[in-house]
Structure 1
Amino acid sequence: MTSPATPVEHLDVVIVGAGISGIGAAYYLQRDHPQRSFALLEARGATGGTWDLFRYPGIRSDSDLHTFGYEFKPWRDARSIADADRILAYLRETAAEHGIDEKVRFHTRVLAVSWSSEDARWTVQTERTDTGERGTLTAGWVFAAGGYYRYDEGFTPAFEGRERFRGRIVHPQAWPEDLDHAGRRVVVIGSGATAVTLVPAMAETAAKVTMLQRTPSYVVPVPSEDRLANRLRRWLGEERAHPLIRRKNIAKGRLIWRFCQKHPERARRLIRWVNTKQLPAGYPVDEHFRPPYGPWDQRLCAVPDGDLFRAIRNGTADVVTDRVVTFTENGILLESGRELEADVVVTATGLNVQAFGGIRLTVDGREVGLPETIAYKGMMLSGVPNLAYAIGYTNSSWTLKVGLLCEHFTRLLAHMDAHGYDTCRPEPADPDMPTRPFLDFAAGYVQRAIDQLPRQGDRMPWLTSMDYRSDVKLLRADDVTDPELHFSSATARATRPAEAVSA
């Protein structure tokens, strides 16, 4: 006698990822739709995403936490540019306060999701990362909140001769717990946010730290504490001060970005002047801190309280702008003929972009090729029903956009409830609409994966906006309906007469 099959669990919404985006999505979903069932599927064994994964020295935000934090939860720490431990504590406190931590299913990786229009639901294939056990559940919606890069590996170029090096080579994304760099010579390859964080942090105890870069980045000192924000918090209290501080910092960030975009040469000169004031007299500023591109063509690197410049002034760190020819037994040989001796080499060479965590998407039996899709309002994909995703800003605090996307998502669910719909699918009215890359951003990690990502169109709602003010109108103020977002009901389709279905 055979035992009855175990029924497949059904959830209204599956949120993939329990980092800053997933926790935010869960908050808005249960606030606006408390009757809906949902779970956060997290491949790792802890919440926090990036802020739990990365363990390299000095890891911190490069955005102020009054805007990088959630709109619904004030950032109460005195430091507005904060380290990972403080950010992680904030995220976990948020999850605990709202019972979101109880909705997380750890060690659960989503392998594939397949949509059935007949059933108006996703079938979600999962794998336990601790046991390898496979599982299945179904969901009305999938909300992809896993970010945009691979968690299991970072990007490291193929370096000639690295097997000859007698020291240790590490990537920041897989920082070893047993690495002791005190009193040792360290070379950090890279010039982005990770490198400018690592160098001053390691320089506190290392014999010497060298930042080896092929191309300079714009590096800007910022105060780690927002004095005006802290005064407002003392005068008005946390709850009343929080929205004022956010508006102030949003306006400030937007003003800086627009200034850099409209007046790139003036912005370049201003940044150079600031750098010159921070560096020793006679320092070759143009060689090491003058990029060949305009400000904000790539993200500016923020250094709290000018810690990188301070390490250079103190002589515990230096910058070399050159190209790697080969690793040697004792270090790195450069194109200039110079050899940098090192005991430890850190390859802060970037991320591997991976859209939707590498999940295989299928709609009615047809596999979805991401480069063949077009992003709708920066949160859905053309031809893919009931799937939303959270990708934040590249030119501002990530969470500013994620919050707006989550609000729009819950409004969309409310509209569907009110009209009896169970399916919505974006489709461009003009199938020949011109498209361009999903992220118009010159960073290397984006350019390496540009042909693996969705596209964006040449008009709204098919543009992926990077402007908070525009998104407030589009995602918060404007109606959720749109002629190019099509709603339907599987029940209505199933009960419709045959001649109507075929018409």
Structure 2
Amino acid sequence: MEHVDVVIVGAGLSGIGAAYRLSTMSPGTSYAILEARDAMGGTWDLFRYPGVRSDSDMYTLSYPFRPWTDRKSIADGGDIREYIRSTADEHGIAQRIRYGHRVVAASWSSADARWTLTSEVDGELVEQTCSFLFMCSGYYDYDEAYTPDFPGLEDFAGTVVHPQFWPEDLDYQGKKVVVIGSGATAITLLPSMAEEAEHVTMLQRSPTYITSLPGEDALSAGLRKVLPAGLAHRVTRVKNATVAIGFYEFCRRFPSAAKKILLTRAGRSAPDGFDPKHLTPRYDPWDQRLCVVPNGDLWRTLRRGKASIVTDHVDGFDETGIRLTSGQHLDADVVVTATGLKVVALGKVAIDVDGEKVDPNERFVYKGLMISGVPNLAWCIGYTNASWTLRADLSWQYVARLVEHMRSHGYAAGTPDPQGAKGETAPALDLQSGYVQRAAGVLPQQGREKPWTVRQNWFLDAWDNRRTDLDEAMVWTRLDETSRQSAQAS
């Protein structure tokens, strides 16, 4: 049976970044990347709907160790996919990827201080072992999306698709399209599909806060003319992170003022006479993620009359379209259910420690990446209020330092305090978005005090990450103790 020091699950943006940090910060560590699908790229390979793009600027979403040099600040999915692939090739990571390996179970043995992983490979179960398991598969289900139970959907004579499973041969040219949803996916689809469709209607139950950003970063363009690419990238990255996190904090502290700013900007961009109810959410800014519109493409499409927004509820489907509770009927040839993702914990892998099943919802997140009572395992999750990579890179670095720390001190296993947080708790992802609320019984919990909190502030986390105490609230097992336990077991 094959054994490596670290197994990274997932060959997307996070898995490639984790491999780079591990290979450069802990160069003596052997590792393998197990990828369930047959291609690299994760989210950016899975999602192929029209116009798919980043919802964060690329100077914070890209790797800090590999400057983003394209002029686009908000990048297309294909560009991001190529960026991930070329990074893996450039740093010799691609050859460590095992495609078609869907990890279904992970079992920890304290006696052996190692994980035994079970993967589905070509219809068969294959086992391998590792000393440390790093879950870099994100937090949503690749196999199943969320679609509400719409009454009468089976009566609809047209085509129904979910953005997560976009068919390559979908023909919507000259057709009437209804996109159900109001999040980033819906707002991306509306202007993209309107280029070919007769008309696109975005049907939303409640509006989302929308803000426009330029497609190119003027500061970055100027800096690249006078500074080395790496330095220009770092300056732009810090600037953009400062703006994003600063505005988030402003929204949370002064929600009324933030709401006024966002709605005023949106109202000025919308077509003349546009009903403000379609732009006014029922919640405060950043209770859910803000949606970014690059170069105002959404507003231009609405002004051209190629698209419209309807705020209403679905009463049911019929043969020709959708009945709304207001009595209105939306004719449709194609309906896109941009209704959200299904959130999962730890990639749906069945995990046990010494034969005891681990229920993530009964555990606590330690320093934003490990799980109480679970040895030698980390889970990479990004920020909800800023770029995924800002937090992910802190996790990659932490794991690399932790592996080195264990090696230098002769530790076979490190376990965050099994008791976890004390007192008041909250879900690990603290948003009111539907996809997060639906996962309340799935995700781990967080506490109110360090190291059991999941903060949404890159600057504070980056400061702590450089000075973090790797021994804090950790239970260590030395190599000699493991050998003794193994001998006793045999």
Same fold per superposition (TM over 0.5) = yes
Q: Distance in 2 between matches of 1:255 and 1:334?
A: 39
1:28 aligns with 2:18: no
| 2:272 alignment partner in structure 1 | 281
Deviations 1:73-121 (A, max 9, x none): 1001000101001111111110000011000000000010000001000
Per-residue deviation at 1:240? Answer: 2.1
Per-residue deviation at 1:372? Answer: 1.0
Mapping 1:142-181, distance limit 5 Å: 142-181=133-172
Gaps of 5+ in 2: none
Per-residue deviation at 1:468? Answer: 0.5
| 1:5 alignment partner in structure 2 | none
1:492 aligns with 2:481: yes
1:72 aligns with 2:62: no
Residue among 441, 448, 451 paired with 2:431: 441
Deviations 1:158-211 (A, max 9, x none): 000011111100000000111011110000000000000000000111100000
| 1:267 alignment partner in structure 2 | 258
Answer whether contact 2:422 2:447 (CA < 8 A) is retained: no
Deviations 1:341-380 (A, max 9, x none): 0000000000011111110000011001111110000110
Per-residue deviation at 1:154? Answer: 1.0
Q: Distance in 2 between matches of 1:176 and 1:92?
A: 23
Deviations 1:413-449 (A, max 9, x none): 1111111111000016677533221111111001001
TM-score w.r.t. the length of structure 2 is 0.98
Q: Distance in 2 between matches of 1:448 and 1:263?
A: 28
Deviations 1:134-167 (A, max 9, x none): 1000000000000000101211000000111111
1:413 aligns with 2:413: no
The code of the aligned residue for 1:491 comes to: D
1:379 aligns with 2:341: no
| 2:110 alignment partner in structure 1 | 117
Deviations 1:384-437 (A, max 9, x none): 000011000000000000001111111111111111111000016677533221
Structure 1 residues 430 and 336, CA, compared in 2 at 3 Å: closer, same or farther? closer
RMSD of aligned Cα (Å) = 1.6
Residue among 101, 108, 112 paired with 2:94: 101
1:461 aligns with 2:451: yes
Q: Distance in 2 between matches of 1:138 and 1:428?
A: 23
1:365 aligns with 2:358: no
SS at match of 1:268: helix
Q: Distance in 2 between matches of 1:437 and 1:446?
A: 9
Deviations 1:430-480 (A, max 9, x none): 775332211111110010011111111121000011110111122222232
Answer whether contact 2:421 2:446 (CA < 8 A) is retained: no
Q: Distance in 1 between matches of 2:356 and 2:231?
A: 51
| 2:467 alignment partner in structure 1 | 477
Q: Distance in 2 between matches of 1:350 and 1:414?
A: 39
Answer whether contact 1:407 1:476 (CA < 8 A) is retained: no
Residue among 64, 72, 83 paired with 2:76: 83
Answer whether contact 1:288 1:319 (CA < 8 A) is retained: yes
Answer whether contact 1:153 1:174 (CA < 8 A) is retained: no
Q: Distance in 1 between matches of 2:231 and 2:237?
A: 11
1:233 aligns with 2:214: no
The code of the aligned residue for 2:104 comes to: L
TM-score w.r.t. the length of structure 1 is 0.95
Residue among 4, 13, 35 paired with 2:6: 13
Answer whether contact 1:20 1:91 (CA < 8 A) is retained: yes
Q: Distance in 2 between matches of 1:415 and 1:433?
A: 30
Structure 1 residues 163 and 227, CA, compared in 2 at 3 Å: closer, same or farther? same
| 1:402 alignment partner in structure 2 | 392
Residue among 153, 156, 176 paired with 1:185: 176
| 1:61 alignment partner in structure 2 | 54
Answer whether contact 1:171 1:347 (CA < 8 A) is retained: yes
Answer whether contact 1:404 1:476 (CA < 8 A) is retained: no
SS at match of 2:33: strand
The code of the aligned residue for 1:486 comes to: V
Gaps of 5+ in 1: 1-7
The code of the aligned residue for 1:466 comes to: Q
Structure 1 residues 399 and 369, CA, compared in 2 at 3 Å: closer, same or farther? same
